[in-house]
Amino acid sequence: MPNDPLVPVHTSINIDNRITLPKHFSDLLPWIMGKEVKAWLFLVESGRHRLLSDGEVQNDPQLEPVRLLILQEKFSIATEPSYAEHLRKAAIVARLVPITINLHQGSWRIPFPKEFKTLGPTDCNPNALSILFSPEAYVEIWHTDVLRRAACSPLA
């Protein structure tokens, strides 16, 4: 059976906190080229991470201000000291992490940020991951236990 990009690939984090992106996945991402690619990992929800290009983050109205804050230490809006964003909205700064994907012996290596291990589900193996395409056509990296629970739950 040929490598099918619609079938999840199960892997684990190596000693360097990296995973390898299978070639049949990277071949479908036109923005992965050269020897080194600046990209982002976005924590969609606990145990589910989305791999994004810099252009995708720049074009997202919710992620672009966070990108600027991270890269340029530039705050988008100054507010009164008594104002505070809702918890979910304020936490977005912890959900977006810049990464550098490197070409190594013909395959792409993705660093898995230690920050995401800390935010991962406590009831799963933090080193067992699965790589898949989401229905929205993004490469996602899931903790395998989270994927197993989601895949085995009723659809309705």
Collapsing DSSP states into helix, strand and coil, what is residue 96?
A: strand
pLDDT of amino acid 75 = 67
Written as six digits, the tokens of 90 are: 């304020």
pLDDT of residue 1: 43
Q: Where are the alpha helices (DSSP H) in the chain?
A: 23-26, 54-58, 64-72, 87-90, 92-95, 114-119, 144-151
Q: What is the model's pLDDT at position 101?
A: 94
Structure confidence by residue, pLDDT tens digits, 7-24: 788 888 888 889 999 888
Cα angle 18-128-32, degrees, rounded to a multiple of 5: 40
Residue 75, phi then psi, degrees to nearest 5: -85, 135
| Predicted pLDDT at 76 | 62
Residues of the chain under the 50 pLDDT cut? 1
Query: How high is the pLDDT of residue 42?
Result: 95
What local confidence, expressed as pLDDT, does residue 3 receive?
Answer: 64
Asked if residues 21 and 107 have their Cβ atoms less than 8 Å apart, the reply is yes
Inter-residue contact 129 to 143 (CB < 8 Å): yes
- Which two three-digit tokens encode residue 2? 């040929």
Confidence (pLDDT) at 32: 94
Closest CA to 112 of 39, 25, 32: 39
3-state DSSP call for residue 60? coil
The CATH code that applies to domain 9-151 is: 3.40.1550.20
Quick one: pLDDT at residue 92?
A: 86
DSSP 8-state class, residue 83? -
* Residue extents of the structural domains in the chain: 9-151
